[in-house]
Each structure stands twice: as structure tokens, then as C-alpha cells.
Structure 1
Amino acid sequence: MSYLSSFDLPPVLLDIPRNAVLAIGMPLVLGSLSGYPTSKVVNGPWYKSLQRPVVEPPNRVFGIVWSVPILYASMGYASHLAVKAYDSSLSPASRADSYDGLKLYYIQLGLNLLWTPLFFMAKQKGLALVDIVTLTGTTFWMTATLNHPTAGRSTLLLMPYCLWLTFATYLNGSFWFWNRGQKEVKKD
């Protein structure tokens, strides 16, 4: 993981997940703020005009997955487990994996928060696809990196998120593929 070794986390990014409430609350608040304007776009002419993926759940499923705070709370608590493993491990390898996993956590959180504005606000399906492919890969990498130091507990918390991101990547890719070259509907 030489790339991850090239930068250190600011101390505050280690301090936040040390408190379980802050660890869970931070992604919940940031995710809510990022997704807040989405419902207007989903109910607007641009989104309704898009050709749909072959398999697409009803819009209410997205509300359940993201507005019910399960995925954000799970990723937040996984960061808490990672920093606890970092603080308590006597093994240099486990400590390094915990630290690298926390770096990946913040990278994936940033990518996660960027996706909604890219797809729904900027209406950039292709850029959103690049973001979500990177997000999904980073999240799987984070999950694998944190598995050993947290004795698999973080993996149990992150696996539903990994699965959802895999499906969301398919959806984004389908929206991009089926709507290439579509002229933007101007009234949103």
C-alpha cells in the first residue's frame, strides 16, 4: 500500500471516529446534506426523461436505503472500529492496516458525497460513473484492509454498503449507456 503510505491523516480525522456518536453522526449529516436536493431532481423532467435501466427498483427503495441511516451509520461505526483497532493493536501490521483503512474511509466518504451532486445536480452521468466506480473499488479495498484488524466486524458492517454500491454502479452505468448523447431537458 505504498500509495496510502505517502500521506498522513490530519489528527482531527483520527479523533472524530474515536467517539462512536461522532463517527456515526458525521456521515449521516454529510450524507443528508449531500442528498437533500435530490428529490426535486428525481421528480423533475430531466430524470423522468431518462431511459431506464433494465432492472431498476422503485424510487422509494432509494429513500429507504439512504434516508434510513443504515448504510451511513454502518460505515461510520466501521470507522470507529478501525480507530479502536489502531489505538489498541500491538501488531505493527494491524496498526498499519487500521490506519490505511481509515485513509480509505475518508477517500470513499468524499467520493460518496461527490456522487449525488455530479449525477443529480450537474447531470453528469459519465463523471458520476467514474466517481462511483472509484468509490466502489475504494470501498471494497477499505473493507478488505479493515477485515483483519477489526476481526471481521467492520466487514459485516460494510458488506451491505459494498453490495449496494455494486448495484448502484450498475444503475449509473445503465443510465449513462442508455442516455448517451441525450439532449438535456432544461426545466429542473
Structure 2
Amino acid sequence: MFIPNLFLAVPRNPVTALGLPLALGFLVSAPPSSKPANSNWYHNLNTPPGRPPREVFPFAWTLLYLSMGYASHVAVKALDDSTSVADRDDLSLGITLYYAQLGLNCIWSPIFFEGRKPGLALVDSLLLTGTTWYMTRVLDRPTSATTTYFLLPYCAWLAYATYLNAGVWWLNRGGSEGNAQKPEE
């Protein structure tokens, strides 16, 4: 599997490996418009049991972005050192999946908060969670489980976040989500 050099160069350096997901996460969670998470629309949504206080999210996501970034660094270093064709194939696939999940991660907030489409955000969340679990599985053996230690908390959080997203969609499917397309007044 061919991976462009830029996609290998970024995680090859531990600083840029950690910085890329952190910077992207910051950019998509801090849109230039007013904070969507503070909108009346968001606060009026029915939510499932177990939603943490909103102050937890920035802290949790910062740790998860750093963790996934470091896992990408470990995967690229393993690719650089690997002589096994099977390992190189798995590592290449894993790195490709890393960028795919990063893209899916980046579009969730705009879909949910700015687009006000919890159903579409749920589809994204399901794809993100599935891609990340598969990436974790693919990278496990060729990195001697090192990436798994960094990615399992992310996988668990994504499962939890998908539960929250599904709950919001389900609890608001006939009411608030139907009004979600109207701009705030």
C-alpha cells in the first residue's frame, strides 16, 4: 500500500505526531462563530443518562488526541524498522486508517453542532468508532501491542461518545432535531 511521504513525515516526528490531532481537534472544536456547544439548541436537547459535565470534554479530548498522535508515531517508527512484508502491509493499512479516522473525527463537531444533525453525526460516530477499533486491531501485532495501549482509551471513549450521540438522536428524533435546522433567534 502506497502512503504519500507527507503522511509518513508528520507522525515520524513525535512533536508533529502529537501536534496534528491536537491542532485539528482545537480548530474544529473552536469555530470562529459563537460556540455551538453553548447554544440554546444544544442546551435544549434531551440527553441520555451518564452525560458528563461539559468541562470534561476538553480535558478528555486533549489526552485522547495526544494518545492517538503518539500511537501514529509508534506505527510509523515500526514501519520504518520493519522488514516483514506482512507487518509493513498491516502498518501501512493502520496508518491509512489513522488518517481516515482523523478525518471522521474532524467532521463530527461541524455536523453535530453547526449542522445540528445528530442523526448524521451518529453515522459519522459509528464509522469513526468502527474505523478506530479496526485500526487498533491492525496495528496491534506489528507494534507488539504498544499502539493498543495508546488507542484503547480512545476506542472506549468513542464507544461512550457514540452512546451519547445515539441517545441524543433517539431522544430528540421527533422534537428538537426537527427544529434543529432553524437558526437561533
TM superposition score normalised by structure 1: 0.91
TM-align CA RMSD: 1.5
Change (3 A) 1:83 1:163: same
Distance 1:61 1:147 in 2: 29
Distance 2:130 2:36 in 1: 27
The alignment status of 1:22 with 2:19, answered yes or no, reads no
Change (3 A) 1:153 1:27: same
Q: Which residue of 2 aligns with 1:134?
A: 127
Q: Which amino acid aligns with 1:84?
A: K
1:43, distance to aligned residue in structure 2 (A): 1.7
The alignment status of 1:103 with 2:96, answered yes or no, reads yes
Distance 1:180 1:51 in 2: 10
> Which of 24, 31, 56 is residue 61 of structure 1 equivalent to?
56
The alignment status of 1:31 with 2:25, answered yes or no, reads yes
Change (3 A) 1:39 1:138: farther
1:39, distance to aligned residue in structure 2 (A): 7.7
Distance 2:113 2:3 in 1: 30
Distance 1:90 1:9 in 2: 17
Distance 1:28 1:59 in 2: 18
User: Where do 4+ consecutive residues of structure 1 move more than 4 Å?
Assistant: none
Distance 1:90 1:131 in 2: 35
Q: Which residue of 1 aligns with 2:184?
A: 187
Gapped regions of structure 1 (runs ≥ 5): none
- The count of corresponding residues between Structure 1 and Structure 2 is 180
SS in 2 for 1:9: coil
1:90, distance to aligned residue in structure 2 (A): 1.3
Gapped regions of structure 2 (runs ≥ 5): none
